[in-house]
Structure 1
């Protein structure tokens, strides 16, 4: 059994198409078909069945795929560890993040880290709360910023980084736009611009409104903080957004106000796969982040 056969097998299983797999592998289709056939002959089983123009894994093929993917993942880790040994500061960090963090926090953190470790490479992946938890648990990314920080989870562990306060935002010219702070109940008769249901910020805002004694009337839903800010600024409703998402980036801006009753905030943490050893450069990055956010918290308190 050759490594090449296993790599071809996994590629065909993922694409469910021999020709497309061959194109991505940069080899001819006949070479892929031949290696798959040799692998089946050696194992004494059928791994794929034809389904129209596609191929589909058999039940034993699905079982074999799970094991092979684990083997190839471990092999990749072994190669990475050798590279780390040769140059510990030039590794690769695969990190996920929600959209509301990418605007200011993530670029600042990476820029600060690269001053000390200019050879470190980052692979960035944006996602929702649940998709980031899933990607870390499956080992598709090493680390992820998430909000809220999960206190307990059987698949991931991590560190709390900071608390980010949520502010009420209203259109310029709104009757409350002159206020420095408000009670959330003052927005009970307003229409809201809200994140879609896949975002954890929606749950935080909904819970805060219920705590204030009302269920928000949702007029618009969006997937990005920029879209919510823009809709509010254009007079389409009101909303609540984290402080990190309210850094000015264009001329059309809503008015933000502190919410004093109830206080509304979210926790931000960094998660990694439970029981998994991180690449050396990723461990260095975690230690850097803990110091970075500790200093940031002290400065904000002062």
Structure 2
């Protein structure tokens, strides 16, 4: 069975006439008839029956036609995706990121990239740390921002693009709310509002508290930075958030204070599959991001 036979079959099915199909295909009528006959012989069924001067699909021909339409549509889509893969100024970039980066960083870098490449499309997928790793490995996304950066992982590769400091956030009426800097130890008697288990910021805050000499007492848990900020602003406890998660998105806001000791930071990395070549449009976006964050690319892979 040849692809040409499927194209000829579908055109005859649409026109219900061999001559008209041949005219649209710009081939001889005999060539179309021959290909249809060969297809029917190979399948062992009649795909068409004569109805006056026209041809009509048989019952099995109708079934076969639906499948052929789907096959050819998928094939056209695949060809288009290949062309997009090879075009750095068009196509679609599939990118994953944690929720905390969706407030400011992702909109900023995408807007900056689209000023240079306005025809590129983006598909976004938010997720927690293990979900983002899985999405990269399963090719659900081409690239993913992730925090913390996975220093040792056999199947993903990438670069640290940013190291960000975490600040303490406090209820507006907290005794330390007016301070410029505090030591984390000063919050040892406070109750904490932390991210739920599975979110990468939770262990960062937990280990920072242990380093400061205490185990945090958890009052509430949340799954979004807006929730954490809102609970703290409402006086439900204190917490630590990255700088880029401090952008105001609602009227009720906590106070935020720098931490002098210990310094609490998180790494943000940009990862991709280690054993797979990125589409050119995704490669272009990756190169743009490395320069955007002030990194220098080597001629050899950084991985």
TM-score by length of 2: 0.71
Contact 2:88–2:284 at 8 Å: present in 1 too?
A: no
Structure 1 residue 172 displacement after superposition: 0.4
CA separation in 1, counterparts of 2:79 and 2:146? 28
CA separation in 2, counterparts of 1:165 and 1:245? 11
1:266 matches 2:263:
no
Tell me which structure has the larger Cα radius of gyration.
2
2:161 corresponds to which residue? 161
SS of equivalent to 1:89? coil
1:212 corresponds to which residue? 212
CA separation in 2, counterparts of 1:187 and 1:2? 73
CA separation in 1, counterparts of 2:84 and 2:118? 16
Counterparts of residues 168-247 of structure 1 (less than 5 Å): 168-247=168-247
1:120 matches 2:136:
no
CA separation in 2, counterparts of 1:160 and 1:147? 9
1:278 corresponds to which residue? 278
Counterparts of residues 17-32 of structure 1 (less than 5 Å): none
More helix by share: 1
SS of equivalent to 1:251? coil
Label 1:149 to 1:75 Cα distance change in 2 as closer, same or farther (>3 A).
Answer: farther
Contact 2:84–2:92 at 8 Å: present in 1 too?
A: no
Structure 1 residue 79 displacement after superposition: 4.5
CA separation in 2, counterparts of 1:84 and 1:170? 48
Label 1:133 to 1:75 Cα distance change in 2 as closer, same or farther (>3 A).
Answer: farther
CA separation in 2, counterparts of 1:169 and 1:243? 10
Gaps of 5+ in 1: 5-29, 39-72, 296-302
Gaps of 5+ in 2: 7-58, 68-73, 296-303
2:291 corresponds to which residue? 291
RMSD: 2.6
Contact 1:137–1:273 at 8 Å: present in 2 too?
A: yes
2:82 corresponds to which residue? 81
1:252 matches 2:246:
no
How many corresponding residue pairs? 231
Counterparts of residues 60-71 of structure 1 (less than 5 Å): none
TM-score by length of 1: 0.72
CA separation in 1, counterparts of 2:92 and 2:176? 48
Structure 1 residue 77 displacement after superposition: 6.8
CA separation in 1, counterparts of 2:2 and 2:213? 65
Structure 1 residue 91 displacement after superposition: 1.0
Structure 1 residue 186 displacement after superposition: 0.5
SS of equivalent to 1:294? coil
Contact 1:194–1:202 at 8 Å: present in 2 too?
A: yes
CA separation in 2, counterparts of 1:220 and 1:111? 35
CA separation in 2, counterparts of 1:195 and 1:83? 39
